[in-house]
Structure 1
Amino acid sequence: MLRRVGYEDRLGGGGRAGRPDSWFTAYRGDVAAAAVVPEGGHGSEAAGPVVSAVLAAG
């Protein structure tokens, strides 16, 4: 389920603690994939491996 994220929340305001969300997008040929890992830190650390696995499977 998607949730709305306000401008302040995306910048770490609004009382939100923890690491930033991790996001990563990539494509190979005609297949594209995107992933978001809440509070995952840097995209290449958490969301990158998810996207890599999706592209490797496709």
Structure 2
Amino acid sequence: MTFLGAAGTVTGSKFLVDGGGGRLMVDCGLYQGERRLRALNWEAPPVEPPTVDAV
């Protein structure tokens, strides 16, 4: 399991689970609250979407 978001905050959590030949994104939440946090919602995703099998 790889932690990809929400370090230091509650919103914006993202987890990537690799195993069994597949990749699963879990809890791909949006950032909320301060403007600087909400701006993170428009950054490129931490993982290339075509490489993920399920969300």
TM-score (ref. length: structure 2): 0.30
Larger gyration radius, structure 1 or structure 2: 1
TM-score (norm 1): 0.29
